[in-house]
Amino acid sequence: MEMLSFKNISVVYNEDVAESLQVAKHTKSVLEARGLVAKITPSSSYDPVASLVITIGGDGTLLKASRFYAPKNVPILGINLGRLGFLAQANTDEIEASVLKLINNEYRIESRMMLSAYNDRVLALNDIVIKGDTFSRTSKLFLYINGKVVCDYLADGIIISTPTGSTAYTLSAGGPVLVPGLDAMVIVPICAHTLTARPLVIPASEEIKITSCNTCSRLKMSADGQDTIDISADDCVVIKKSKTEAKLVILEKENNGFYAVLREKLQWGVAPER
């Protein structure tokens, strides 16, 4: 079993959430009461020597931290202040219990697949999205897999998702839910103007290439819905599985398996009340 290092604990708070700093200070005090040393850092200025990161915020806070810390092989534990918190392991009233579980080794560290574009200069734990730069118009986008033409989309954009991200934007766009441990990627067109354009699940070993036509002046690409960059429409974007993996701390507690979380947080398969 892979073990955590408590040598340099960084409690990362989201500066855009008013309550986040207060909860970070409480988390730090709980850690120190158990003999651990922790440092509070804002999400705009990460501690590069952290050995364990605890994020305070929503899934977006954890996703942003994962893109910085995954190449450093640093595990992340999420404390949820957001609406859904699908990736988080605890709410604010569970901080003390969560710290005890860390100390008592009641956890596991899960490796999560990440996506890579531009040779790992762009990393994503959830998804990479490509759209035209004019959001009021559809774009013509061409999909290649392993250098072979698959199809072209007239759509608002394309989502390339990991299994972890299959419960995020991909799900909202009509994509399937994938168990996080699957070695696969999901390709989902956004609001395609073709009824035959359906989500596609492919092995993670495949290489995806997306190009556009000359009618688009520029394209926009985002990683996890946060890091957005402009790219030339005559450029091609190659997306593949990254060699870098995110490390997520999963606490041992009741109803914390993937299917239980799916049912609890997404109300998956829950019949409507009469």
Neighbour count for residue 48 (Cβ, 10 Å) = 11
3-state secondary structure of 134: coil
Q: What are phi and psi of 97, to 5 degrees?
A: -65, -35
Number of H helices, E strands in the chain: 5, 17
**Cross-strand bridge partners of residue 109:** 249
Active site residues: 59
Alpha helices in the chain (DSSP H): 20-33, 59-69, 95-103, 169-172, 258-266
Q: Token pair 């305070």 is at which residue?
A: 56
Q: What is the spatial distance between Cα 51 and Cα 162, in angstroms, rounded to a whole number? A: 25
Which amino acid, one-letter code, is at 142?
A: F
The length of the chain in residues reads 274
Characterize the bridge pairing of strands 237-251 and 107-117. antiparallel
Cα–Cα distance between 188 and 82 in angstroms, integer?
Answer: 26
CB 6 within 8 A of CB 51: yes
